[in-house]
Every structure is written in C-alpha cells, then in structure tokens.
Amino acid sequence: MFRTVPVARLREIDASRVCLIKPSALGDVVQTLPLLTALRGRFPEAEIHWVINRELAELLECHPCLTGIIPFDRRGSWLQAARLAAELRAREFDLVLDLQGLLRTGLMTAATSAPVRVGLETAREGARLFANCTLPETGPAVPAHARYWRVAELLGVGDAPRAAEFVFSKGEHVWARKLLAGLRRPVLAIHPGARWVTKRWPVEKFAEIAARFAATFSGSVLVVGGPGEFQLAEVVAVSAAGRGISHNLAGRTTLKQLAALLAGADLLLSNDSGPLHLADAVGTPVVGLFSCTSPGLSGPRGAQHALLAADIACAASYYKTCPHSGTAHLACLVDLTTERIWQAVIQVLARQPAVHTA
C-alpha cells in the first residue's frame, strides 16, 4: 500500500531528482511547458527529466530548465516498456508528476518508486491508484492550462512566469526568416486538420476563408499540418493561389520549424488542435474553432485570441465521433458559419497596428 502524502507537504519538500510524465498530445505538452520554469525556480539544483512521446521530444531539446528527456514509444514492444520501467527506477526520482493520468503513465509512475507521486483529479484508467498525492481543483471542470499550473501553485511558485520556452537552432531561425521574407503581409496561417472528425471544420470552408483573405488583403496564406494532412491542406492552399502568395507546408516542417514559422505569422486560423496552442505559445493570435470541445476548458488563455464555439445543445460534448444522424449529424460544424469566422479574422487582424485591414 502506498503511503499518502498530504498536499500541504508539497510546499516543504526538497527534491533533487524530479520526473515530469506528460507524453502527449502536442497541445497538452505545449500547455505544460510553462511549468518547467516554475519547477526550476522551486528546485534550482535538481535534475528535472520529462517522459515524452518520441515524436514530440524535439520540442524539449536544449530547454534551459530541463536536465534530460526520456523518450517513450507509444507503440513500442514489451521489451521497450520493460527497459523504460528499469530506467525510471534506476534514476531514483524524489518527486514524480503524472500529468497524463492514464494507465500507462500510472504504471510509469509506479515504476519510479518515488516517495512523492503526484497525480491530477482527471486521472482515469486506474492511474490514480499509482499516485499518493492527488492535487485538488484539477478536475475536468478546470481548464487544461490551469490544471497543469496547479502543480506550480501547490509547490509555492504559482507567481512564476507562465511562458512556454523553445530553443531554436540557427538553422531553424534561418529557414523561417527566409520563407517569411518572401511573403506579402499580412500572413495568415491555417491549420485545417484535427484528429477527431468532430473537431474538423469542413475543408471547403477553410478554402473559402483563404480565398477571401487573399483577395481582400493580397496577403499570404500558409497552410500547415502533419504528414497525413497534405492533401487536406492542398485544397486550402490552391484556393488562395493566384490571388496572393500561398504555400502548402503540411508535413514539410519539423515541430520547431512550425513553431518558428507561426511566430512570424500575423494570425493562425485553426481547429482545436496542437498548432493552435503552439501559435499561442510563440505569441501569435489565433482564431480557434471549437465544435465538440469547449474553448474555456481546452483553449488557450488571452484576450488577443478569438475562440469561437458552436451554439447547439450538444456542443462541447467531447465526442470523437458524432452520435447523431440526419440533419443533426455534425451540426456543431455547420453552426460555425463561414461569415462568423471571417468576421473574427478581420477583428483579430484589426487589433494589430502593423497589419493593414482596409
């Protein structure tokens, strides 16, 4: 039986080896990044390691507050899982933070045998059984970014800067600057993809916005996404071609290249997805589309953004597939009209003095 650790003790512990377990997904990892600065401030001499999916690990490379990265292969073999468990045990962590809260991360937490194993109230699949300190006010009604920051607050460093930090290589900076230098302003980045079909605003509507933007501003459209989203992105990119500068970069950037590119854009239009949070982290305003998810719970902080939610009974239901048929099928996506999104794009651009919206 694990010995329970009172939450109040977190303000007093003096850890020398800290493990943060947050393997995925992109948006959640980005929203967790500010915690690194707080942890380094709370434990200035400690080793701080992060367990993360291998395909996302590059985001953490060279981070000044991080000692090491422990890559996790989600589809790895049992032998790889055993090796990971052995590595976690061998590092003799004092404090482990399971911010994923799934069975696999609960097992990672247990493998460490750390004396203090912190979990969140959102943990499921039995993951809470492996934590001995569950943080209050971290349930599903609390925004994701606020849940992760509760760790900092209960460690006594909630007043630390809440900014994500990325360390770009010279090559990544040069690549982004070179691409952006050839673009006409304003620059609209668009991410039309999402893993859940219920999050995916119709690509034809994204294409309509892209064409209207190019015709109105004679600006540039950059369509971004993962390797499997190239064809989806191509529909959007082609719609803006001939009216302005348009590039389909889906699957053609690393995560850090994408971050550097988004940092140079004037605005990102996106479904609720990882690139939306990446843009927020590098200081680029977003027009975010929330159909089956809630902007209050899943969206980024900040008045600079326009987060648009569907206004129907089943909106923010977090269904990965639509349970309705007939005219009610994917009605949340229909409710997000093209005109409403276009007006949000105009309004967000108008807040930026350097961008001409006439």
DSSP assignments along 141-163, one per residue: TS-HHHHHHHHHHHTT-TTS---
How many Cβ atoms from other residues are within 10 Å of residue 353's Cβ?
6
Q: What is the mean pLDDT of residues 131-151?
A: 97
- For residue 354, the model assigns a pLDDT of 63
**Distance (Å, rounded) from C-alpha 104 to C-alpha 224?**
31
- For residue 355, the model assigns a pLDDT of 62
Residue ranges per domain, the chain? 7-154, 174-350
**Each residue of 169-185: pLDDT tens digit?**
999 989 999 999 989 99
Answer yes or no: is pLDDT of 3 > 90. no
| C-alpha 287: how far from chain center | 15
Return the exposure string of 204-243: e unless at least 16 CB atoms fall within 10 Å of the residue's CB, then b: ebbbbbbbbbbeebebbbbbbbbeebbebbebbbebbeeb
Domains 7-154 and 174-350 share a fold: yes
Is 112:94 a contact under the CB 8 Å cutoff?
no
Is 238:223 a contact under the CB 8 Å cutoff?
no
pLDDT grade, residue 352 (50/70/90)? confident
| Mean pLDDT across the chain | 95
Q: What is the mean pLDDT of residues 132-154?
A: 97
- For residue 64, the model assigns a pLDDT of 96
Q: What is the mean pLDDT of residues 33-43?
A: 98
Helix (H) or strand (E) holding 79: helix 78-90
What kind of architecture, by CATH, is found in domain 174-350? 3-Layer(aba) Sandwich (3.40)
Q: What is the mean pLDDT of residues 211-229?
A: 94
**Each residue of 71-89: pLDDT tens digit?**
999 888 899 999 999 999 9
**Distance (Å, rounded) from C-alpha 308 to C-alpha 318?**
16
Beta strands in 214-311 (DSSP E): 220-223, 245-248, 267-271, 286-290, 306-309
Q: Which CATH number, 3.50.50.60, 3.40.50.2000, 3.40.50.150, 3.40.50.970, labels domain 7-154?
A: 3.40.50.2000
Answer yes or no: is pLDDT of 2 > 70. no
**Each residue of 231-245: pLDDT tens digit?**
999 999 999 987 778
Q: What is the mean pLDDT of residues 140-162?
A: 97
**Each residue of 245-281: pLDDT tens digit?**
899 999 999 999 999 999 999 999 999 999 999 999 9
**Distance (Å, rounded) from C-alpha 202 to C-alpha 321?**
15
Answer yes or no: is pLDDT of 350 > 60. yes
**Distance (Å, rounded) from C-alpha 114 to C-alpha 240?**
54
Look-up of token digits 């089943």: 314
**Each residue of 294-345: pLDDT tens digit?**
999 999 999 999 999 999 999 999 999 999 999 999 999 999 999 999 999 9
Q: Looking at residue 113, what DSSP letter applies?
A: T
- For residue 358, the model assigns a pLDDT of 43
Percent of the chain with pLDDT over 70: 98
- For residue 1, the model assigns a pLDDT of 47
